[in-house]
Structure 1
Amino acid sequence: MPADVVDLIMQDHREVERLFDELKQNPDKRPNLLPVLTTLLTAHSRAEEAEVYPVAAAEAGEKEEVSHSQQEHVEADQLLAKLAKTDPTSAEFDKALQNLVDAVTHHVEEEETKVLPGMRSNLSDQRRSELGEAFAASRKQHLGDQPGEMTREELEQQAKNADVSGTSGLTKDQLKQKLQRDAKS
C-alpha cells in the first residue's frame, strides 16, 4: 500500500530538522548541505501547496489552518531565498539560518499539532494513501526548483490556499508581492 501522506510529510520534517542541525554544527559542510536543504524544503512546500493543502482545506475541515500554513510557507520561502544567497562562511549566514530554523520549526509544530491530526482523523486511509502518491509525485517534479521562483499558477494556488482574494487581475509580480505582504501581516 502506498505511504500515508501524513507520514511522508512528517518524514520530510525530520529530514529538514536533521539538515538544520548539520548546518549549525558543521560550518565546513555548509556549501554542500545548503543546496540539499534548499531543494528539499522547496520541493516539499510546492507539493504541499499543490496536492495537500487544497484537500486539507476542502475535505478535512482545515481551511483556517491551511490558510495560516500557506502564509508561513511564503515567509519561509523568502527566508530560504535569503539564506541561499548568503555566503556560508560569513557571520550573516548564522543569523539567516537561525531565522529560517525558527520560522520552519514554528510551522512544523503547528502543522503537526493542527493540520496533520485533522487529516488523519477526517480523511480515510485510502484517501491519505492517494494523497501520499500525489504528494510524492509532485515533490519529485519540483526537485530543483528554487525558493521564490514560481509560476503564476503556483502563485495563484498559494493565494487560494491562503484565502487571499482579489488576485485575478494582478500580474505575476503583483501577485507575489501581495502574498508576501499578506504573509507578514
Structure 2
Amino acid sequence: MNHAIDLGRPVAGDVIDLITDDHRLFERLLRQLRDTTQDLDAVRRAFADVLIAHGEAEEELVYPVLRRKTPDVGEHEIEHGHEEHAEGNEALLKVLELKGTDTQAFADAVEELSNLIAHHIAEEEITILSPAREEVGMKIRTDLGATWAARRNELIDRNCGSVENVRRIVAEAEREGLLDDDDDEDDED
C-alpha cells in the first residue's frame, strides 16, 4: 500500500516499545482526523490500516505469549483487550463508511473512535504492557517484536484497513460475541 502518511516500518525492537510507539501514532493520526486542513480521507485510510494491522498482529502473536508468560496479566485482561479491539474496529467501520469527511456525522464518529482508542490505550498500557515489561524477559520481547513488526507491516501492505476487510473483522467479532448487541456505550457500569 502506498501511503503519503508515514505509518512507520519497524523491523525489530522490544515488542512493548513497538506497541506503545504505535499507540502514539494512533494519537497523532486521531488529532489529524480532527484537523480540517488535512486530507481527512487519506488520514482515515492510513489510520484504518495501522489500527487493524496493529490489533490483528497483537491478537495473533502478542496476547497468546503474554497470557502464558505474565502471571499478573490474567485471562480477563486479555479477553477485555480483545473486546476493546472489537469495539474500536466497530467504531472505525462507522468512520470508514461515511461518504464525506466534512459533516457533523464524521466529526461525531471520529470523536467516538478517539474516545474508545484513548480508553483502550490507557488500559492496555497499564494492565497488560506494564506487567509484561517487568515479567517477560528481554529476549522473548525482542523476538516477539520482530515477529509482530513483520506481521504488522505485512498486513499494512495488504490494505488490511479496507472497508471490506474491516466489515469482515467486525462481523467476525459479532459472531464471537465480542460486541454487545445493543449500542449502549455505558455497559461497563
Bin of the TM-score, shorter chain as denominator length: 0.7 to 0.9
2:69 paired residue among 54, 59, 62? 59
Unaligned runs of 5+ in 1: 159-173
Q: Hey, which of these two has a bigger chunk of helix by percent?
A: 1
Instruction: Name 2:175's counterpart in structure 1.
Output: 175
1:23 aligns with 2:22: no
Counterpart residue type for residue 90 of structure 2: Q
Q: CA deviation at 1:179?
A: 2.5
Q: TM-score, normalised by structure 2?
A: 0.79
2:160 aligned with 1:145, yes or no?
Answer: yes
For residue 114 of structure 1, what is the aligned residue in structure 2?
A: 127
Tell me, which stretches of 5 or more residues in structure 2 are unaligned? 1-10
Counterpart mapping for 1:1-185 below 5 A: 2-26=12-36, 28-61=38-71, 62=73, 63-86=75-98, 87-143=100-156, 144-146=159-161, 147-150=166-169, 175-176=175-176, 178-181=177-180
Which amino acid is the alignment partner of residue 84 of structure 2?
E
1:6 to partner: Cα distance:
0.3
Could you say if the C-alpha distance between residues 18 and 151 of structure 1 is closer, same or farther in structure 2, counting changes exceeding 3 Å? closer
Q: CA deviation at 1:131?
A: 0.8
Cα contact 2:32–2:38 (8 A) shared by 1? no
* Conserved 8 A contact 2:70-2:132: yes
Q: Tell me the CA shift for residue 180 of structure 1.
A: 2.0
CA contact (8 A) 2:90 2:170 kept: no
Using the aligned pairs only, state the percent identity. Answer: 28
Q: Secondary structure at the match of 1:89?
A: coil
1:26 is displaced (CA, Å) by 2.7
Q: d(CA) in 2 for partners of 1:133 and 1:41?
A: 18
Q: 1:121 to 1:182 in 2, by over 3 A?
A: farther
Aligned length: 165
- Compute the displacement of 1:149 (Å): 2.5
TM-score, normalised on structure 1?
Answer: 0.81
Q: Evaluate the alpha carbon distance shift between residue 2 and residue 34 of structure 1 in structure 2; reply closer, same or farther with a 3 A threshold.
A: closer
Whole-angstrom CA distance in 1 between matches of 2:115 and 2:170: 27
TM-aligned CA deviation for residue 142 of structure 1: 1.5
The answer for the alignment partner of 2:8 in structure 1 is none
RMSD over equivalenced CA pairs, Å:
2.3
